[in-house]
Amino acid sequence: MKNIIFIAPPAAGKGTFAQMLKDKYSIPHISTGDLLRKEIKDETEIGLQVKSVIDAGKLVSDEIVFNLLIKRLKETDCDQGFILDGFPRNEAQAIELEKISSEINREIKYVIFLDVSKEVAAQRILGRVSCPNCSEVYNLYTSNFKEDGKCNKCSTPLVRRDDDNEETFNKRYDTYLEQTKPVIDYYKNKGLLFVIDSNSNDKELKLQQIEAIINEENND
């Protein structure tokens, strides 16, 4: 079973690699950021509560995130494995996840830390745009566009996330240093941590490194 966590600063590539593994291994990609943004888009009560917190670059309360996550993790498509992107983000979440995941038979096997400098992360965030229709992600500085401002796949006008501005990025990065970095040591001490240098733009190389990690043991 491939139960994987991606842990990283903002814009290190969690979503990108989670999506690649999802397609290749047919296991679900669960992004707590995406789950929260869906609540905002659907204008649910939770969505209304979390919008300002996300726009301020802070963490949403553990309770809200955990309730969304646990519902998702119990679904049967997670039986053969899953990829967590953006959770856990503090030590309390890591401890809670450990408790519940063994109860529901979803124990974490690999924690992959995508290491990236603040400078590289900032450039990726400030150039990032995505397609609201097919979710393809682009970078204004590095991607080639068939038509300016439009998705190469489906021609939909591209959009920027509300929290992808310089001020919120700086806050998100601070939040990462204060709250999420300690989780890396937590998993290191448990022997579950693998580190990937994510500063280069060579996605193929990084994907190979990640696959070497998750395929290293028996083929269960």
User: What residues contact 38, with CB distance under 8 A and at least 6 apart?
Assistant: 47
Listing DSSP states for 34-75 in one string gives HHHHHHHHTT-HHHHHHHHHHHTT-PPPHHHHHHHHHHHHTS
Q: Pick from ligand ATP, Mg ion, none: which does 81 bind, CB < 5 to 8 A by kind?
A: none
**Binding span for ligand ATP by CB under 6 A among 31-39, 147-155, 186-194, 208-216:** 31-39
Q: Pick from Mg ion, ligand ATP, none: which does 46 bind, CB < 5 to 8 A by kind?
A: none
CA distance 188 to 167: 31
Distance set, CA 106 to CA 51, 59, 64, 98 (Å): 30, 24, 20, 9
Query: Site for ligand ATP (CB under 6 A): which residue of 3, 15, 82, 94?
Result: 15
Residue least distant from ligand ATP (Cβ): 33
Query: Site for Mg ion (CB under 5 A): which residue of 3, 9, 13, 15?
Result: 15
Instruction: Kindly state whether residue 81 participates in binding ligand ATP, applying the rule CB under 6 A.
Output: no
* Helix or strand run (H / E) with residue 197: strand 193-197
Query: Which residues are catalytically annotated?
Result: 14, 89, 128, 161, 172
- Contacts with ligand ATP: how many residues (CB under 6 A)? 19
Q: Where in 153-172 is the site for ligand ATP (CB under 6 A)?
A: 172
Contact between residue 141 and residue 134 where contact means Cβ atoms under 8 Å apart:
no
Q: How far is the CB of 135 from ligand ATP (least distance, A)?
A: 12
Q: Where in 53-72 is the site for ligand ATP (CB under 6 A)?
A: 53-54, 57-60, 65
Contact between residue 157 and residue 149 where contact means Cβ atoms under 8 Å apart:
yes
Q: Which is nearer to ligand ATP, 44 or 155 (CB)?
A: 44
Q: E strands along 86-192, which residues?
A: 110-115, 128-130, 137-139
User: Phi/psi at 79 (nearest 5 deg)?
Assistant: -60, -40
Residues in contact with ligand ATP by CB under 6 A are: 10-11, 14-15, 32-33, 36, 53-54, 57-60, 65, 86-87, 89, 93, 172
